[in-house]
A = this chain, B = another copy of it.
Amino acid sequence: MSIFTRSVSKIYTRPVLEVNLNKIIENYRLLCDIIYPSTPSAVIKDDAYGLDAAVVAKTLYEGGNCRHFWVAHAVEGEKIAEFVPGAQIFVLQGIGEDSAQLFAQYKFTPVISSPEMFAFWKKQKISDVKPVIQVETGLNRLGFRTEDLEHLSAADLKMFSMVISHLACADEKDHFMNKFQLDNFNKIRQKYFPALPASLSASDGAFLGADYTFNMVRLGAAIYGINTAPYRLNQMQNVVVVKAPVLQITQLKKGDFVGYSATYRAGTDKKIAIISIGYGDGIHRSLSNRGKIFFRIKNEWKEAKIIGRVSMDNIICDITGLDLKVGEWGYIIFDEYPLDDVARDAQTISYELLSNIGKNQRFDRVYIIK
């Protein structure tokens, strides 16, 4: 399905989400080159940021030869297990009463981030699995603190297969926290885990150079086309297109209000289009009176401002001067205005935007694969 197809004089009602799996593979391969010789792995938590973890895992397994996957919860691992036979599945939030059975069944590798969780893990006596230990280096989120590590015995320390931590500010190349966390990580490794494989970086850390890549990099956001190194132009390809049909075209007279709470008023006569998509589809309501809809007219992209509040199922935009018909497509996210641009307009980050969009079950979903 070409995004340049015009569908004049037809009526459509459903928004469309296109996911380009070829570009996901290409992004992954480029990242593999960038982090070489570190081992690549794919972060497909939160249902692969909403794009469908089973589809994305299978794609990267078959098309990218990926053999290491990270999910947040064991139930997410369960969803992909059958599609990635023999691959290692790491569970970032670790193991608990509510997931122990899945770990025993699927042999997921838990990330152990606290003494309490470690004690629980040991009680489970799950064979053939050596957990990962997460250590705290400055993010102050999950992870063993130095004082916790002091209480681990020599036998305890030998139970782990990898030591990981997570960077707080890796999307800012020169942020002092990067070097601070790197130094902390190296000190902890050398003191407690001198022989253990290590992983510090996610997609953003992949661009900080060889000091940061260690044995494995956890590639997530960048696979999905997000610029995790925003201090330079994006090297990744956009993988998602979100578009929705024009349901109605009509006129505003000078003085007319638009949308809930009448937050927009026309200062002059206008032509408007009502597009069949809204915050129910994950298009953030914060785009009200701020965001943009794009239309392809005579081989050129034209921009229309969102006016009034984004509602649950509809967005209204100002198409004054544009030659459009009902049934044509308004583009919200596409190659020329990808996730990062829309997230900026919505005053959030691409991760949250993508995660919300992908969850909607009303989209007509199209997966593009060669």
Binding site for B on A (CB under 8 A): 9-14, 45-47, 72-76, 92-99, 113-114, 116-117, 120, 136, 138-143, 145, 168-169, 171-172, 175, 177, 245, 247-248, 250-252, 256-262, 272, 274, 276, 279-280, 282, 284-286, 308, 311-314, 316, 326-327, 348-349, 351-352, 355-356, 359-362, 364
Contacts and interface: CB of A to CB of B under 8 A. Distances in A.
* Residue of A282, A284, A286, A356 with highest tally of chain B CB at under 10 A: A356
Nearest to A120: B11
Contacts of A248: 113-114, 116-117, 142-143
Main secondary structure of the interface of A (DSSP, over half): loop
Given A13-B73, A14-B96, 12 more contacts: A11-B97, A11-B117, A12-B97, A14-B75, A96-B327, A141-B258, A142-B247, A145-B251, A279-B351, A280-B355, A282-B356, A312-B351
B262 A177 contact: yes
A204 to B, nearest CB: 10
B46 A348 contact: no
A-B CB proximity, top 8 nearest: A46-B280, A359-B359, A11-B96, A13-B96, A114-B248, A72-B313, A116-B326, A12-B96
Given A247-B114, A359-B359, A359-B360, A140 B96 contact: no
A169 B264 CA distance: 13
Contacts of A279: 351-352, 355
Contacts of A9: 116
A98 B364 contact: yes
A308 B139 CA distance: 10
B348 A73 contact: no
Contacts of A94: 11, 13, 247
A145 B250 contact: yes
